[in-house]
Structure 1
Amino acid sequence: MVGNRKQIDFKMVWPSGTNHLIYSQWIPARLGTVSELINKLRTLCAIDNLLPPGSTLVLAVSGGLDSMVLLHLVQRLREEYSWRVVVAHYNHQLRGSESDLDAEFVKAAALTMGLPFFTEAGDVRSFAKANSLSVEMAARELRHQFLAKTAKNQQSDRIVLAHHANDQAELFWIRMLRGTWGAGLSGMRSCSPSPADKTIHLIRPLLHFSRQELVLFAQETNVSCREDSSNQDLSYQRNRIRHCVLPILQEASKRPVPEITLGFMQLLAEQQSFLEHQAEVWQTERHPDFVTLHPALQRQLMHDALIQHGLKPSTDLIQHLLHHPDVAIRVTADIFVHRTADGDLVCREPSENALPYDQSTQTLALESQTAQAIFGDFQLTIRRSSSGPDKFTDHPAWFDARTLPNDLLLRHWQPGDKFHKIGMEKPTKLQDVFVNAKIPFATRRKLVLVAQRDGPIVWVESVGVGSPYKVTLNTIEFLEWEWRKVVRNPEPE
């Protein structure tokens, strides 16, 4: 969340209002000493191997209390674990000079500790408008792009975030009020892929620390931070949960609400893991009959089937499929699905010409050493070089640069499209390529392809490079092709 910050030097100075009341109510039964909190982090890192010795860690530091405490905790253990620590700060430029002061504050802290510091600023409001996003979501997206880029440049696969137990509890209630179920209620994981780059891990070593423990550490060790005034803004749902809902629940409970919530989330995660395993077993054995299965397992199977078909599962849709076998239901403007008595999900695929095709296009110019294009939620980065990688992979893709013109087109599947897939003798209908690759019908028209203007298709998302453009032993100029889908997640990280 974004708002005005003021610098705070401990003793902690809380804004007026309910914030102090909430965190004083959420004090654990016993707060450890500073050394005990450091040992707690040491133990958690050893158990989960979250932060292996010798790792390069990119710390996301906003300047607020949570991230500044994380910075100081990691700094205290840095030499012991031989970590190389890099401090990264994204300036959202939403609060004028206040945003700049945040960046300067974090930079000063990093330099005082002798740590490398990287920062970047972005026009969040323009990005939000161009991509039809809320300002909060646009800020999250740009921030993760910056953090992932910094991690890659520093040869790191770990971005360390300061989410803690109270954040986890708030997220649970936010998702509960949305009607989320299953895996969605298990909360943030201590290790998860970055939405900007799946090869980079988001590490959350403080998920088992309460906010009050972080406050205690800051008070006892004189950590300075900057407090964001928007944390009091009740127009944000998270703040309404924090300041209005959870205090009422706390009044009715003898135990800290975050502690209770986290315990419940752990139980849900274990049950969800069991259901997912049972679903895998049933799909292999197909016994007993679907109609005799426990309703919870039936729901899981329908959930998994929808995901496999590229469709978004919802409680109402799954309930319909369970209670109305062989009755089709429209799930998108052009897709109907129904469940058979045997538990299979059938997706009705209209004929090729029954639906409109997406005619949108985007020019891609290759004249320079690097090129970049944004096409809807698809982002493509291209680099030209005189040497290829030691090992070729599907992602990023590699081309023989001399086989490509400088002017290409990003577009979607169109009627009559043909594609010369690697390993095939000649071009075939792209529809047949999709069928053979078992690409769900619901996703085929959303895939991005790159083609010459009024000419052959060069590359197809989820399929690969066209045979005429592949790297061979005679290739002397290479084109690296890196792409990603922008994740539209309503929950900020």
Structure 2
Amino acid sequence: MINDGDRIIIALSGGPDSITLLHILHTLKNKLNITIYAAHVNHLLRGKDAYKDEELCKKYCDELGILCFVKRVDINQLAKIKNISHELAGREASYEFFDELMKKYNCNKIAIAHNLNDQAETVLMRMMRGAGIEGLVGIRPVRDNIFIRPLIEITRNEIEKYCEENKLPAAIDKTNFENIYARNKIRLELIPYMENNFNKDIIHTLNRMSNIIREDNDYLEEISDEIFKKYCYRKDDRVIIYKDAFKEHKTIITRVLRKAILQIKGDLYNIENSHIIDIIKLYNQNTGKTIMLPDSLMVDNVYKDIHIYKEMKNHNTNIYEVIPFNDEFYCEKLHTKIITKVLHKNNNDVNLKDSDMIKYFDFDKVKDNIILRYRKDGDRFTSLGMKGSKKLKDLFIDLKVPRHERDIIPLICFGNEIGWIVGYRISEKFKVDNNTERILQICIER
């Protein structure tokens, strides 16, 4: 949890828990060879009491010779703007502040003063919300090798006793005793009732249960990581989950899906189990189906592979560029250079080796300008070797081109006729044959 040379920011509220944590780490800092700082976020929610807590933190840190950073955030206003709870807004504001300080002062860990009672309350709260085993793990002692909770095995009574014995100036948050919040009701009513009627050691019992569940959960996470590496990959703005992943046990695939969402979204806020079930249902439907998840997440069924990505708004589909002959042209919108050359077939230096990005056409069959554009309604195309034309939309389906890619595939056109679906096919109408005398070479560089 704490290593030699660590630089730690202590989340300091001014309450008994965080003051105890500050005092303990300050006492042990030379022995552990660590550097500590304190960070206090004033949420401006409790009137004068909030400012008293702020002053207490600054004064006590000053007495200990610890640098204390303070930030004031109007959590009430922030919650309204983001349309989230005060609790979530407060957490986001605090963690954003901690992140700023970590970068500025080259710190590597954040110490948070959660205790054993907090763990029990969290487990009970999640249990009543129907959480899976991942939720019943509760508060992890160490998360991401950054967030550490040194007091997680210590009860609230032990912390209060420590404060009393060491005469620590801890503030008491009066709202902790207001019986109006779910967590407060668990703390003030449910746990005392369970202690008096079922198990006087319920706090330790719940902690022991969460530790057992954590071991099982960590094992499942290891398996899920292996499956994710085997069947999932990141491509540009999306994570693609191959269909074979869905042959795995439901417990595993649900975790794999959460990992994929986490990669795209950055967190799992607003993602519920019902959304994971919706993705599994989508997999069992026909290709081409799409669902939307919270925070503009899109999920596509692409021939049984599942694509998860952020919805792209205001994509520019109006590209229309006239490409000069025997010249180089740079398309800013595509960040692409297009090189055109007119070659004579009887020239011994002509080498017609094409690739996905180099194609050849009969120059004398090209009767109009070279146009670069995206697809439009009504487009038809005659593939090389075919006699009749086909709707471009149907051709994309035949080629199993994912729906999200169809609107952003460049088309090289000669007037109104499509000559080249870049990366896929060239047209029969403009092919080089035995009668060709002049050849148009088009090269695309990205």
Is the TM value for this pair above 0.5?
A: yes
Tell me how far apart the structure 2 counterparts of residues 190 and 161 of structure 1 sit (CA, whole Å): 10
Letter in 2 for 1:208: E
- Cα 1:107–1:293 shift into 2, 3 Å: closer
Letter in 1 for 2:62: L
User: Is the alpha carbon distance of 1:275 and 1:313 closer, same or farther for their aligned partners in structure 2, counting shifts above 3 Å?
Assistant: farther
Does the 8 Å CA contact 1:89/1:118 hold for their aligned counterparts? Answer: yes
**Judging changes above 3 Å, is the alpha-carbon distance between structure 1 residues 339 and 169 closer, same or farther for their aligned structure 2 residues?**
farther
- Partner deviation per Cα, 1:101-137 (whole Å, 9 max, x = no partner): 2121112211111222222223333333332233333
Q: 1:78-97 alignment to 2 at 5 Å?
A: 78-97=29-48
Distance 2:169 2:87 in 1: 25
Identity rate, percent: 24
Structure 1's 265 and 115: CA in aligned 2 closer, same or farther, altered over 3 A? same
Instruction: Tell me what 1:266 maps to.
Output: 211
- Measured against aligned partners, the alpha-carbon deviations of 1:179-210 in whole angstroms (never above 9, x if no partner) come to 222423322222335xxxxxx92221111212
Q: Helix, strand or coil: the match of 1:225? A: coil
Mark the runs of 5 or more structure 1 residues left unpaired by the alignment: 1-49, 194-199, 350-354, 359-412, 432-438, 442-493
How many residues of Structure 1 are paired with residues of Structure 2 in the alignment?
317
Cα distance in 1 for partners of 2:9, 2:309 equals 47
Aligned to 2:285: 326
Normalising by structure 2, what TM-score? 0.59
Q: How does 1:398-409 map to 2 (within 5 A)?
A: none
Shift in Å, 1:177: 2.3
Letter in 2 for 1:55: D
2: CA distance between counterparts of 1:239 and 1:251? 18
1:240 aligns with 2:185: yes
Cα deviation code 1:228-249 (max 9, x no counterpart): 0000122222112212222233
| Match of residue 155 from structure 2 | 210
Unmatched runs of 5 consecutive residues or more in structure 2? 232-243, 320-330, 339-371, 376-401, 405-446
1:430-475 Cα distance to aligned partner (Å, 9 max, x none): 99xxxxxxx996xxxxxxxxxxxxxxxxxxxxxxxxxxxxxxxxxx
Moved more, 270-279 or 104-113: 270-279
Distance 1:202 1:429, change over 3 A: farther
Partner of 2:424: none
Equivalent positions of 1:412-451 (< 5 A) are 413-416=315-318, 425=337
Equivalent position SS for 1:87? strand
Task: Say if 1:125 and 1:135, in contact at 8 Å, map to a contact too.
Answer: yes
The Cα of 1:224 is off from its aligned counterpart by 2.3
Structure 1 residue 139 and structure 2 residue 41: aligned? no
Change (3 A) 1:317 1:213: same
Mapping for residues 95-174 of structure 1, pairs under 5 Å: 95-174=46-125
Cα deviation 1:155-176 (Å, max 9, x = unaligned): 2122211111111221122222
Q: Matched residues in 2 for 1:290 and 1:357: separation?
A: 30
Structure 1: distance between partners of 2:79 and 2:275: 31
Q: Which residue of structure 1 lines up, in the alignment, with residue 422 of structure 2?
A: none
Corresponding residue SS for 2:172: strand
Distance 2:141 2:373 in 1: 44
Q: Distance in 2 between matches of 1:232 and 1:430?
A: 63
**Partners of 2:299 and 2:306 within 8 A in 1:** no
Task: Pick 1 or 2: higher relative contact order, CA cutoff 8 A, min separation 6.
Answer: 1
Counterpart-to-counterpart distance in 2, 1:69 and 1:89: 15
SS in 2 for 1:248: helix
- State the SS of the aligned residue for 1:120: strand
Aligned to 1:185: 136
Q: Which residue type is aligned with residue 250 of structure 1?
A: E
Aligned residues of 1:340 and 1:346 also touching (Cα < 8 A) = no
* 8 A contact 1:182–1:272 mirrored in 2: yes
